[in-house]
A = this chain, B = another copy of it.
Amino acid sequence: MQIGIIGLGRMGGNLARRLMRGGHEVVAWDRGPAAVEAVAADGAMAAASIEDMAGMLASPRIFWVMLPAGEPTEQTVAMLGMVAASGDIVIDGGNSFYKDDIRRARTLATRGIDYVDVGTSGGVWGLERGYCMMIGGREETVRWLDPIFATLAPGLGAIPRTQGRENSDDRAERGYVHVGSAGSGHFVKMVHNGIEYGLMQAYAEGFDILKGKASDKLPEDERFTIDLPEVAEVWRRGSVISSWLLDLSAAALARDHTLEHYSGHVADSGEGRWTVDAAMEEAVPAYVLSAALFARYRSRVETTFGDKLLSAMRFGFGGHVEIPQ
């Protein structure tokens, strides 16, 4: 198929390449000319602007927006609302908040434009491994776009098949799923990232405990100095907690045993927070997902005002002195 890709950063550029390798025709635009040239060198047709792209695509046109969530995506979708025609399709492949998708789909529908949201997982590995996609939008439209998704997805590969799926939709097994109406794709991707935070924090705490076992505050005969790269590696091999995140941990530890090259000031994107928001809207207890999020906040500050208040209270009732030297 023919597709226009807007935004050629780490994700968008590789997406374009994977599509071209799969035989699709890509028209590419980015506000940075160098990014356009790089993708053009790999076979894409370079557009000079979004309007230009619209002129280069045959109807019905497919625009795939791959930009940071928030203002960049919002403004581009708004512009496409003016540039696109009835029957065209706007895809947001970024990390938009799903309520924005619901609103956008409703707005574009008034002009006959279809809106599809695609939560895309796979990060920098997607070009080779393929992308796992969670898709929201109208059934008919998503079916029509199937060749695009089939190319981007990992495919069956070597992953063992799940028993009992014989009569199920095989798209999930090939790495993409049509979840429901617009917004549902990003909703599922959002929860995916919320889970990701929780998984990561579970490993982080576990390795912290392994490392802390060498502390000289412990009784001498209860101390162990544990080789963390070895443990991470062995857990990849037949243990219950093997996972891709563990693979990455093992690789990081193999390169840098003490992780001294990492700051430990851990950023969070919107999804972790939105997941906790969704949990609260549904009255679902999300102890672990929220704690994982808060651990990131805490990692980015040296001390909190709350900690100081604890010190102050302890001084107040017990005369305990916790005063900086």
Q: Known: A162-B233, A209-B191, A218-B282. Is A122-B239 also a contact (CB below 8 A)?
A: yes
Instruction: Please tell me how many copies of the chain the complex holds.
Output: 4
| A interface SS class | helix
* Interface membership of A187, Cβ < 8 A: yes
- A contacts with B, residue count (CB < 8 A): 158
| Other-chain contact of A312, B159, B252, B302, B313 (Cβ < 8 Å) | B252
A162-206 interface mask toward B, CB cutoff 8 Å, 1 = contact, 0 = none? 111100110111111101110110011001111111111111111
Separation in Å of the A108 CB from the closest CB of chain B?
Answer: 15
Separation in Å of the A171 CB from the closest CB of chain B?
Answer: 8
B320→A267 contact, CB < 8 A: yes
| Other-chain contact of A210, B174, B191, B197, B209 (Cβ < 8 Å) | B191
Residues of B within 8 A of A294 (CB): 279, 285-287, 290
A263-292 interface mask toward B, CB cutoff 8 Å, 1 = contact, 0 = none? 111110000010111111111111111111
Given A162-B254, A168-B230, A265-B303, output 5 extra A-B contacts at Cβ < 8 Å. Answer: A172-B237, A177-B233, A179-B231, A240-B244, A284-B306
